[in-house]
Amino acid sequence: MREEVRGLKGSVLIAGFATRHIVQSAWKAGYEVYAIDHFCDQDLTWYAKKWSLFEELDEIPILIEDYCKKFTIDLIIAASGAETITEDPRFCGTPSSIAAQFLDKSRIQDFFHETGIPAPKILEAGTYPAFIKPLSGAGGWRNALVRNDAEEQAWHDLWPDEPSIRQTPIEGTPCSVSCISNGITARAVSVNEQFMRGGTGDRAFGFAGALTPYETEKQSQLADLAEQVVTASGCIGSVGVDFIASDEIYAIEINPRFQATLDIVEESLDRSMFELHLGACRGHVPPVRPSPVRCVARKILFADRDLTAKDDLKWLAPAVADIPWKGTEIEEGGAVISIYGRGSSRDEALGLLDKTITEVREYMSRW
């Protein structure tokens, strides 16, 4: 939990759909933190001096302006959903004009093609199987594998006003590389294995957690390719690249912001990702790729039905995060809580992770 007294390096306002991991990193780095967040989970409030909850993304600019009037804000950080919302000179990260390119999956595809980066090919209408995904949005939600006209029409019926792209499906291991970039040079700091939700429907390919480091024979190749991608992108600060590792490596997306893997990467490296981000915004990147000191895994638990949190699970921290307040109502399919496992190996980290998952699910079964 938050300590009462801390030596402060300055104040930072963090805004976006889900900010707890960034808020925590900034607080650990010694900053006074203000947060604008869609959830405002219990543990976010341990690290933020002041926080505000929003329902729609168009509320964020108004809230940013209000915070800047009421408080002394030295830095502004954008999380998912807020990448292009502010042009304030205190903003630290990828400029909105550059970030906008990588929030549009069609433009990402064009970028990969123009820079010669291997990526899944665009498929013409009527060609199956096809991987269909919306042009905008994060976390893999609404991505789907369709095998015929009927399945594709069902997707469009579910999302009638959603522009989309169709790509060649690639079988392999979803993974990502976390980079630090000053807009000219990029350094890979972590190669991560990703977990998908699984099952069927529009949530099957949604992000459900990750493990770092991802120890694979393709580890160096993934890091090299990510540095090439991020250097060419012009993105600044913490930047992530998603891949599918198959017989070949295929680039999927670029995330011009802090990624959902921030906290496991930070703990694996024993280094502040927030400080590395700020350093890159001032022109500095790590001279060499850092080495992990432990394996860290995170999985997100989702509600299998509509439920209400009836227990306060804060006592399980730091084995859990994104902790719902007692009485929080969560719709079927919604994220409930994040679970962590740590160890000297992948097996040890996953073993501890599964132990806590079993414990939390016992509570959830009674909700």
Backbone phi, then psi, for 121, in 5-degree steps? Answer: -80, 150
- The pLDDT of residue 2 is 43
Residues 57 and 86 in one domain: yes
Residues 255 and 182 in one domain: yes
Q: How far is it, in rounded angstroms, from Cα 357 to Cα 22?
A: 23
Q: What is the pLDDT of residues 277-290, one digit of tens each?
A: 999 999 999 999 99
CATH code, domain carrying 83: 3.40.50.20
CATH code, domain carrying 193: 3.30.470.20
Residues 118 and 178 in one domain: no
Residue 105 resides in a domain: no
Residue 151 resides in a domain: yes
- The pLDDT of residue 352 is 98
Of the residues 141, 167, 193, the one at which a domain ends = 167
Residues 235 and 265 in one domain: yes
Domain, as residue range, for 276: 173-281
Residue 192 resides in a domain: yes
Closest alpha carbon to 218 in 193, 183, 241, 235: 193
Closest alpha carbon to 77 in 136, 5, 25, 138: 25
Residues 62 and 128 in one domain: no
Residue 41 resides in a domain: yes
Of the residues 125, 140, 167, the one at which a domain ends = 167
Residue 18 resides in a domain: yes
Residue 65 resides in a domain: yes
Residues 177 and 277 in one domain: yes
Residue 145 resides in a domain: yes
Residues 159 and 182 in one domain: no
Residue 100 resides in a domain: no
Residues 87 and 119 in one domain: no
- The pLDDT of residue 203 is 82
- The pLDDT of residue 142 is 86
Residue with tokens 């993934």, as numbered in its chain: 222
Kindly give the confidence (pLDDT) of every residue in the chain, 367 residues in length, as a single tens digit, with 9 standing for 90 and above: 444 444 589 999 999 999 999 999 999 999 999 999 999 999 999 999 999 999 999 999 999 999 999 999 999 999 999 999 878 899 999 999 999 999 999 999 999 999 999 999 999 999 999 999 999 887 777 899 999 999 999 999 998 988 999 999 999 999 999 999 999 999 999 999 999 998 776 788 889 999 999 999 999 999 999 999 999 999 999 999 999 999 999 999 999 999 999 999 999 999 999 999 999 999 999 999 999 999 999 999 999 999 999 999 999 999 999 999 999 999 999 999 999 999 999 999 999 999 999 999 999 999 9
Residues 145 and 187 in one domain: no
Q: What is the pLDDT of residues 165-191, one digit of tens each?
A: 999 999 999 999 999 999 999 999 999
| Domains of the chain: total | 4
pTM value is 0.95
CATH code, domain carrying 324: 3.90.1170
Residues 43 and 127 in one domain: no
Residues 86 and 140 in one domain: no
- The pLDDT of residue 137 is 80
The SS3 call for residue 127 is: coil
Residues 162 and 182 in one domain: no
120, 132 contact by CB (below 8 A): no
Of the residues 167, 192, 212, the one at which a domain ends = 167
For the chain, give me the number of helices (H) and strands (E)? 10, 17
